[in-house]
Amino acid sequence: MNFNITTDNIAGIKSDLEIIIVIDKALKHRFIADKKLLEKAGFSGEQDEVCHLIGKNRLYVGAESLKGDKLRPAVATALRSLIGKKAYKSIKIATYLSHPRCTASLRAMVEGIVLGSYTFTTYKSKRVKSSIKNVEISLEGYNEHEITTEVAARAVRNGEISANATNFTRDIVNTTPEDCYPKIMANIAEDLAKNSNLKCKILKPKELKKEKMKTLLAVGRASRHGSRVIHLTHKPKNPKAIISLVGKGLTYDSGGLSLKPADYMVTMKADKSGGSAVLGIMKAISEMNLPVEVHGFVGAVENMIGGDAYKPDDVLKAKNGKTIEIRNTDAEGRLVLADTLCYAQQEVKSDYIFDFATLTGACVVGVGHYTAGVMGHNDEVTSLVTYGAEVSGELATKLDFNPYLKKTIKSEIADVCNISNTRYGGAITAGQFLSEFIDDEHKNRWAHIDIAGPAFVEHIWGENPHGASGAGVRMTIRLIEKIVRSEDKNGNKHIL
């Protein structure tokens, strides 16, 4: 998809179709030439309501306001309605800004165009996809706010990169376990590095044994696919901060010997969403060439059953020497993350460390399908995550640790148990388990992000299609951009 920014008035631009966003049901706005037809069609301009006037080559869509979280899904809905319509190869759209000096709405609009055009057709015999190739963006504004071509180009570019990285992540998550296993995830990372300025290091089973990553290896022991740990690096000169991203890459999770019920096994290809998000974030960081050093770590493992499977009642030793009593082999993601977090801290002393995981069904029960749970020991760090979610259009909420729930993961025979002794607060106890593998130096620099809810939903919602959403990608890009802006006047790194 090619984006072109022009100072021409919207009426003078040639295209197959014009998209007009109706803000807050304002059908009398100067951009709207078809008020009577829209009223006749019963269009009122509700959020995400679409009316395609075929004879006029105009497509109207409603948005409650000019804010990004309203524009993004509205535009995505409009573009989604064009999928499979081959007559439309080019569109034009004006600029919608909520503030004269803020391009967040323009960036959100571009993200909506790219995200709404997404289809996953790998396994379809008949592949229906978007035909849109060219997008003309006129700097003629809804509120007549003036904006320079240079400023607009930066917003468009960042929006395009962010959305493409999200779609890249969606593709990985949507790929079946037969076609995406640990070796394939490592191959994706290596290809990503070859086509960018990223560096890539892959740890295979022999290297993992040398690194004493026994809990990660135990989870993957019964699989025919050897486990991998991926380390991608973006390292510019004079970075303003050093950030580590750690992702759970369970390419498939059967539950192990604590076997999942059949209907719970469906969609478990999505258990690699955290690791996939890390790959997508690294792609975007490299393309945006942000002045921060970012390390992406992914623990890529398949949890299967067999004669060599790890068992309930086993006691495993993690990389940092802590012992773990296994009481449920379906609480495997935290074991993979335990060793991967330890390895990440060994390799890099970071100013911030964020981990991403479809870790618990309890998080979905607690906050719903669409919202990520954010945990940690430092309010400033967890607030960075919720800030990134808010400005990117993702949803995230803090879940506070407390000492009483921490007691529920105490083991009588090991240092810690991999599940709690209560059915309640499972998202928080999983986060507190991970905290056992964060060293003192990073304790106040770490946040855990449970994306079990939004990562994979089996219906369309907002700018997201059925299936993988790419949760965590746009959120993290935004929080990293905030860290870049927080550099003080003396040029010092922003360190907690």
Q: What gap in Å lies between CA 350 and CA 245, rounded to an integer?
A: 10
Active-site residue, from 89, 157, 204, 260 = 260
Chain position carrying tokens 């335990």: 338
Going from the C-alpha of 289 to that of each of 2, 96, 189, 235, 475, the distances in angstroms are 20, 27, 18, 9, 17
Q: What gap in Å lies between CA 460 and CA 463, rounded to an integer?
A: 8
Q: What gap in Å lies between CA 105 and CA 119, rounded to an integer?
A: 24
b/e map 442-452, b = 16+ CB within 10 Å = beebbbbbbbb
Across 166-189, average pLDDT: 98
Report helix, strand or coil for 231.
Answer: strand
**Which range is least confidently modeled, 53-67, 144-158, 197-211, 251-265?**
144-158
Position 419, amino acid: I
pLDDT number for residue 146: 83
**Nearest of 449, 281, 429 to residue 358 by alpha carbon:** 449
For the cut 90, the answer to whether the pLDDT of residue 22 exceeds it is yes
Chain position carrying tokens 């946040």: 447
Across 465-476, average pLDDT: 98
| CB of 209 closer than 8 Å to CB of 217 | yes
pLDDT number for residue 181: 98
Q: In 314-415, which ranges are E strands?
A: 315-317, 323-325, 352-357, 372-376, 396-398
Q: What gap in Å lies between CA 39 and CA 56, rounded to an integer?
A: 15
| CB of 375 closer than 8 Å to CB of 398 | yes
CA max distance for the chain:
75
Active-site residue, from 334, 406, 474, 478 = 334
DSSP 226: P
Active site (annotated) includes residue 260: yes
Q: What gap in Å lies between CA 415 and CA 417, rounded to an integer?
A: 7
Q: Cα angle at 100 between 104 and 387, to 5 degrees? A: 30
pLDDT-derived band at 101, boundaries 50, 70, 90: confident
pLDDT number for residue 487: 62
Across 35-56, average pLDDT: 96
For the cut 70, the answer to whether the pLDDT of residue 136 exceeds it is yes
User: pTM of the prediction?
Assistant: 0.96
pLDDT number for residue 493: 44
Q: What is the pLDDT of residues 386-402, one digit of tens each?
A: 999 999 999 999 999 99
| CB of 27 closer than 8 Å to CB of 49 | no
Q: Which of 235 and 488 is assigned the larger pLDDT?
A: 235
Between 1.10.1200.10, 3.40.220.10, 3.40.190.10, 3.50.50.60, what CATH number should domain 2-147 receive? 3.40.220.10
Going from the C-alpha of 376 to that of each of 141, 151, 449, the distances in angstroms are 42, 36, 9
Per cent of the chain over pLDDT 90 is 96
For the cut 50, the answer to whether the pLDDT of residue 489 exceeds it is no
pLDDT-derived band at 495, boundaries 50, 70, 90: very low
**Nearest of 339, 353, 88 to residue 245 by alpha carbon:** 353
User: Could you tell me whether strands 416-417 and 446-450 are parallel, antiparallel, or unpaired per DSSP bridges?
Assistant: unpaired
Residues of the chain with CATH 3.40.220.10: 2-147
Provide CATH code, domain 167-485. 3.40.630.10
pLDDT number for residue 486: 84
pLDDT number for residue 473: 98
Q: What are the residue ranges of helices labelled H in 235-378?
A: 262-265, 273-288, 333-347, 361-367
Residues of the chain with CATH 3.40.630.10: 167-485
Q: Work out the mean pLDDT of the chain and round it to a whole number.
A: 96
Position 241, amino acid: A
Position 227, amino acid: S
Report helix, strand or coil for 388.
Answer: helix
